[in-house]
Amino acid sequence: MTPPEADPTLLDGVALFAGLEPAARQAVIDHADWFSLPGGNVLFAQGEAGDALYIVLRGSLAVLRVAGDGVRRRIARIAAGEVVGEMALVSGRARSASVIAERDCEVLRLDHAGFEALVARHPQAMLGVTRQIVSRLEVMQDNPLGQPPPRPRSIALLPAGSGRDCAAMRRDLARCMRQFGTVAEIGEGEGGGRQTQWFHDIESRHDFILYQADETAGAWSRLCLRQADVCLVVVSADDAETRRRHPLEAAASQRGQAMELVMLHPADRISPDNSKAFLAGRRVALHHHVRVGVFADAARLARQVTGRAVGLVLSGGGARGFAHLGVLRAFADAGVAIDMVGGCSMGAIAAAGAAMHWDAHEAEPRFRRAFVDTNPVNDFTLPLVALTAGRRVTRRLRDAFGERRIEDLWLPYFCVSTNLTRGTLAVHRRGLLWQWLRASVAIPGIMPPWVNPKGEVFADGGVLDNLPVTPMRAFGRGPVIAVDVGEAPAFSAPGALPEETWFERLFLRRRPRMPSILQILLRAGTVKTPADRLGRSAADFFLKPPVESIDFLDWKAFDRAVELGRRHAQAELARAPASVFGR
Ligand SMILES: Nc1ncnc2c1ncn2[C@@H]1O[C@@H]2COP(=O)(O)O[C@H]2[C@H]1O
């Protein structure tokens, strides 16, 4: 073996070999080959034959796996002190995943012969390896699509035309991150020309590292990228050159580096309006709007990048959805900041208000005007496509949200609809807000579905998932709070004649009666699906305001619903553990 120095303590931090006697550990060190692996380099690829296992001494590796759906996902991070590549070595099968250096690493390679010699002399080593394989296989089985990436610890800021504002934002970001742990801010002045060991020491002494790259493709920027778990490309939202890129951005993104976009706005910006142009051609997991100098925005970014962001998911439920406004008011009163929002149907509309940064004084009168002052779903029509024409709802949504695009909302946002063409749940994170809200509320048969330019037909998300916690979970940014107001009222018609004639129905006034077509369609479109139940159990904190007595179409129950939501959330918040709020 050829490490810089043949250090007998080299394996001290390796849990898998912790139970071995010193002689056995020395045997591993003697057999193994030491090498350094620069950030971004592939250790091995999925499907290759596996002839060795690797022990990570410094740095970290990402495990990426292509699942049955053909999409490559990151399933784990291998940190210093962990072992990787043991599965193929033991089973003789192909590599189950690709492994790539997330940053500059130092690694020990133990080949087949070395591993066999170890196990022959020290059989207990096999026990630890087997335990590790079993637990990793369990993860793969339980979570074939991969787990959310682990919380990032080292973050690189990559300025693309944002210059001094980027540095100012970094200072605020670091200040906010210090609530969660120690933060080292490293620019070229501190880190330029240092060796891997120096970075390893800094990383082990701090909870978070903020690397400040410069605007060039020089050695320092490249090093920042290699060291980072996640890279924030920072642009100025007022930059007329929306296609400006950092010179390292495209290559990093192609390499699979986790990338996010931060758009910096002046402190007095009313609403973002050009995100689409900045996002065009970029592959970013998320984008953030931050007003320079506005502490709340930096605090939100800090929660989002460190995995402490509070995500709120609001269910559909027609007029009962007004209760969401009360819930939002209770959160604001309690000082709980919501960092990301999503929802279905009426919940999607309430969530959009939160993502616009409307407070209760702004949101409640707007919703009252849109839905209460005149009934939005009574433009009944000849029922060729649906019972109502849907135009009234469309007009209300356009009045309320204008031409605002989802990507221009202050908070990361999604709404769901059901793609009837493909038979799948559609999660909308881009595009005109009113259009996707219109799709999200289109209960089949009651309101005409929405059709996109490709001819795909979209209806109410509640058909497949009325409480879309899973898409929020997929962001993997922190605790998820779910609010369900969609529990249908008791739905039965004891003694009703299933096939009463229209004459009997209209003129004989016999009781009991069949539910009306409106009630039947409403119920059919909002039946609890397995996804709803999953949503409930997948949430970290679940609220169910007592709104059963309010009819889905009882728009006049606005004040009562808001108050029920507020009181319920207020009482539940008082009981909630602090961990629910990412603290
Ligand atoms: N769920 C997991 N968590 C951590 N590491 C894993 C997981 N699944 C697979 N791996 C590692 O990724 C490696 C890919 O190559 P192997 O199949 O040889 O061995 C695999 C494990 O070492």
* pLDDT tens readout for residues 302-343: 999 999 999 999 999 989 999 999 999 999 999 999 999 999
Choose, from 345, 417, 440, 540, the residue flagged as catalytic: 345
Tokens read off for 48: 């290759």
DSSP bridge partners of 183: 208
Name the fold adopted by 8-142: Jelly Rolls (2.60.120)
Tell me: pLDDT of 445 over 90: no
ipTM rounded to 2 decimals: 0.98
**Residue 60 CB–ligand 1 contact under 6 Å:** no
Going by alpha carbons, the residue nearest to atom 8 of ligand 1 is 136
| Single-letter amino acid, residue 488 | A
CA proximity to 413, closest of 312, 326, 324: 312
Q: What is the number of other CB atoms lying within 10 angstroms of the CB of residue 31? A: 17
Q: Which CATH architecture has domain 154-306?
A: 3-Layer(aba) Sandwich (3.40)
Read off the pLDDT of residues 263-284 as tens digits, 9 standing for 90 and up.
Answer: 999 999 999 999 999 999 998 9
- Strand ranges in 360-503 using DSSP code E only, listed in sequence order: 413-419, 424-428, 450-451, 457-460, 480-483
Tokens read off for 70: 């053909």
CA proximity to 438, closest of 323, 557, 346, 350: 346
Ligand 1 pocket, mutate which of 54, 84, 145 (most atoms under 8 A from CB) = 84
pLDDT band at 138 (very low <50, low <70, confident <90, very high): confident
Position in ligand 1 atom list of the atom nearest CA 139: 1
Tell me: pLDDT of 528 over 70: no
Tell me: pLDDT of 74 over 90: no
**Residue 63 CB–ligand 1 contact under 6 Å:** yes
Q: Which CATH architecture has domain 311-489+498-581?
A: 3-Layer(aba) Sandwich (3.40)
Backbone angles phi, psi at 14, to 5 degrees: -95, 105
Ligand 1 pocket, mutate which of 56, 61, 63 (most atoms under 8 A from CB) = 63
Listing DSSP states for 445-459 in one string gives TTSPPEE-TT--EEE
Query: 88 CA to middle of ligand 1, Å?
Result: 9
324 Cβ contact partners less than 8 Å away, ≥ 6 residues apart: 314, 343, 346, 347, 350, 351, 483, 485, 565
Query: 98 CA to middle of ligand 1, Å?
Result: 8
426 Cβ contact partners less than 8 Å away, ≥ 6 residues apart: 416, 417, 418, 419, 439, 458, 461
Query: 47 CA to middle of ligand 1, Å?
Result: 12
Query: 60 CA to middle of ligand 1, Å?
Result: 14
Tell me: pLDDT of 185 over 70: yes
**Residue 87 CB–ligand 1 contact under 6 Å:** yes
> Does residue 460 carry a catalytic annotation?
yes
**Residue 100 CB–ligand 1 contact under 6 Å:** no
pLDDT band at 86 (very low <50, low <70, confident <90, very high): very high
Per-residue model confidence (pLDDT) at position 306: 93
Tokens read off for 581: 């709020």
Pairing between β-strand 259-265 and β-strand 230-236 as defined by DSSP bridges: parallel
Q: What is the mean pLDDT of residues 161-180?
A: 94
pTM > 0.90: no
453 Cβ contact partners less than 8 Å away, ≥ 6 residues apart: none
Domain locations in the chain? Answer: 8-142, 154-306, 311-489+498-581
Position in ligand 1 atom list of the atom nearest CA 83: 22
pLDDT band at 149 (very low <50, low <70, confident <90, very high): low
Q: Using an 8 Å Cβ cutoff, are 64 and 75 in contact? A: yes
Read off the pLDDT of residues 188-243 as tens digits, 9 standing for 90 and up.
Answer: 999 999 988 898 899 889 999 999 999 999 999 999 998 888 999 999 999 999 99
Per-residue model confidence (pLDDT) at position 76: 85
Going by alpha carbons, the residue nearest to atom 14 of ligand 1 is 97
**Residue 221 CB–ligand 1 contact under 6 Å:** no
Q: Mapping DSSP to helix (H, G, I), strand (E, B) and coil, where does residue 222 land?
A: helix
> Does residue 554 carry a catalytic annotation?
no
CA distances from 533 to 318, 459, 461, 530 (A): 19, 20, 15, 5
Tokens read off for 85: 């590549």
Mean pLDDT computed over every residue of the chain: 88
Per-residue model confidence (pLDDT) at position 79: 86
Choose, from 165, 460, 532, 540, the residue flagged as catalytic: 460
**Residue 43 CB–ligand 1 contact under 6 Å:** no
Tokens read off for 582: 């990412």
Q: How far apart are CA 161 and CA 241, in angstroms?
A: 9
- Strand ranges in 19-153 using DSSP code E only, listed in sequence order: 33-37, 42-44, 52-58, 60-66, 72-79, 83-84, 98-101, 105-111
Q: How far apart are CA 575 and CA 520, in angstroms?
A: 38
Q: Mapping DSSP to helix (H, G, I), strand (E, B) and coil, where does residue 234 land?
A: strand
Ligand 1 pocket, mutate which of 136, 137, 142 (most atoms under 8 A from CB) = 136
Query: How does 417-439 read in b/e, with b if 16+ C-beta sit within 10 Å?
Result: bbbbeeeebbbbbeebbbbbbbb
Tell me: pLDDT of 572 over 90: yes
